[in-house]
Structure 1
């Protein structure tokens, strides 16, 4: 039997959660696009949480439209550049805004577009500095990938984040445009990774993964990478970017995952360009705002203050080629079934 203190604590937590949701709903604004968009059942909705995303805009849309995305649901978290104006001019864009701090509302910010516009649809969670890729992309495209996932009965695909960086010191490339950075940031470093089984209790948010199922026992969560090596960050490198938002799924509960999903037997790769542009200035701004729950920005700022010309390049760096080589390296996962699918249906 639960104690009175436990019952009171649960009641207080529920009341606090109702107040949090009410604050979010009050702060939410619909800025652009249809409130009931007509998104065909066989198309993928891109969901993007953005703040001051103008720097990435052109190259971002070029890549994801080429991938086959026609519908984008952005939720703005208080941009002060011309992100809003730019997004209003882009076709296929829905735009909402909520400027409440990420630290207390990120789950609601990420879940809202999926629950409002992406019910019973495949949703691709991406940030503007991320490039989602997968084995066979050039041959089968996103449509072919989704067809494979549906044939498996999967409702999510995991991807591992690959931090991309240049050979030069970061300070030397701070003024590069995003398109220029995509061309020049051709290296990655996976020499130091902390790996955990998907359902390991050592994962900080293991409780959120309990209801998820996997079809490949080799599926792992990874932490650290080159950011851990250079800045001491214990950053999570694993995400569930592609999710079918069906009745059993709770999308965007955490920046890196959704709950109630059945994970596919393959993983993708997210090339992450966090160090494109003036990262030091962005970190300083986020520290000043004080609205992030983690200490990663502070860790990077501390290192940069001591070593302004820090470089991520070393003898352990590798040059990007294609996803298939990362499967051979054990960073991403392939499967015999997927290989057969590629050969049989898309030769």
Structure 2
């Protein structure tokens, strides 16, 4: 019954996304092989990051970049249109309460039985020895191992102080790992630690997880099929946890997926269900502390954009 309700609600929301999304630039279909990958990204007012973002992923060897725009009001789209191998979709469906399904929509539309990397506009992904082996070689290794998902750990990058004007992301050379906590993946195949399970009153669930499908009908656990390396951990905390006074800032994501019939893509903003997790992890360099950091935070709070309505 629970799974039926989830599927019914999500199916209707995905249909609504499909009806309210259109291609505004670039090819609507992307042909690429199973040893290539594309980048998928939700974006709204990403002018601060868009140039570095596109050039980074094109340099890494990704075949194509797809942006799903939520009505940007800055120069994000105009900058993106200056580059090759770009597709821009636009939707009227708001990011709030729909960010998981918007991401899943992109994976299902563009990446069936192929690799895709789902990242935010302020995230630059990298993999081990990328200066020596190509992306194609890395993907080939992962696929031969039997994995269909690769974990990435977020690393918040910053300058000595928040700048007053725009800088290249390469100028953000500082990071802090002193407040990062590590958890094992649970033996029962669940991502979330046991103390993260909410088994309290219905009101408590509503309070903590309002805005979604009551966190997939009262469950906060997301499960994997197999992990090929027990040394890979779940990271939490970091500098954002310290600055904002938040106990649980998730730093572990699963951005790189091979969307086959066994995996349930983007079941959570950070995780996919029933994945076989590769034996190597990667990094997501995260550039939140840019010159417009204060403005972005104020806007996020106003729009109640993030978890717990940005409170």
| TM-score interval for Structure 1 and Structure 2 normalised by the shorter chain | 0.7 to 0.9
Match among 152, 164, 182 for residue 170 of structure 2: 182
SS in 1 for 2:98: helix
Match among 50, 53, 56 for residue 60 of structure 1: 53
Give the C-alpha shift of residue 291 in structure 1: 3.9
Equivalent residue, structure 1, for 2:185: 198
List alignment gaps of at least 5 residues for structure 1: 1-6, 299-347
The 1-side partners of 2:300 and 2:287 are apart by 17
The 2-side partners of 1:72 and 1:12 are apart by 33
SS in 2 for 1:212: strand
Relative to structure 1, is the Cα distance of residues 254 and 10 closer, same or farther in structure 2, using a 3 angstrom cutoff?
closer
Relative to structure 1, is the Cα distance of residues 208 and 74 closer, same or farther in structure 2, using a 3 angstrom cutoff?
farther
Equivalent residue, structure 1, for 2:242: 229
Q: Are positions 1:244 and 2:253 aligned together?
A: no
The 2-side partners of 1:275 and 1:139 are apart by 30
Q: Are positions 1:51 and 2:41 aligned together?
A: no
The 1-side partners of 2:280 and 2:221 are apart by 21
SS in 1 for 2:74: coil
Q: Number of residues paired by the alignment?
A: 284
The 2-side partners of 1:212 and 1:279 are apart by 38
**Larger helix percent:** 1
The 2-side partners of 1:154 and 1:240 are apart by 12
The 1-side partners of 2:106 and 2:86 are apart by 12
Match among 117, 136, 146 for residue 139 of structure 2: 146
TM-score normalised over the length of structure 2: 0.83
Question: Which deviates more, 283-292 or 140-149?
Answer: 283-292
Aligned-residue Cα RMSD (Å) equals: 2.3
The 1-side partners of 2:11 and 2:293 are apart by 36
Give the C-alpha shift of residue 286 in structure 1: 1.8
The 1-side partners of 2:155 and 2:98 are apart by 26
Q: Is the 8 A contact 1:101 1:292 kept in 2?
A: no
The 2-side partners of 1:145 and 1:11 are apart by 37
Higher RCO (Cα < 8 Å, 6 or more apart):
2
Larger gyration radius, structure 1 or structure 2: 1
The 2-side partners of 1:217 and 1:14 are apart by 32
List alignment gaps of at least 5 residues for structure 2: 187-192, 198-214
Give the C-alpha shift of residue 108 in structure 1: 1.4
Q: Is the 8 A contact 1:24 1:105 kept in 2?
A: no
TM-score normalised over the length of structure 1: 0.75
Relative to structure 1, is the Cα distance of residues 131 and 10 closer, same or farther in structure 2, using a 3 angstrom cutoff?
closer
Give the C-alpha shift of residue 225 in structure 1: 0.8
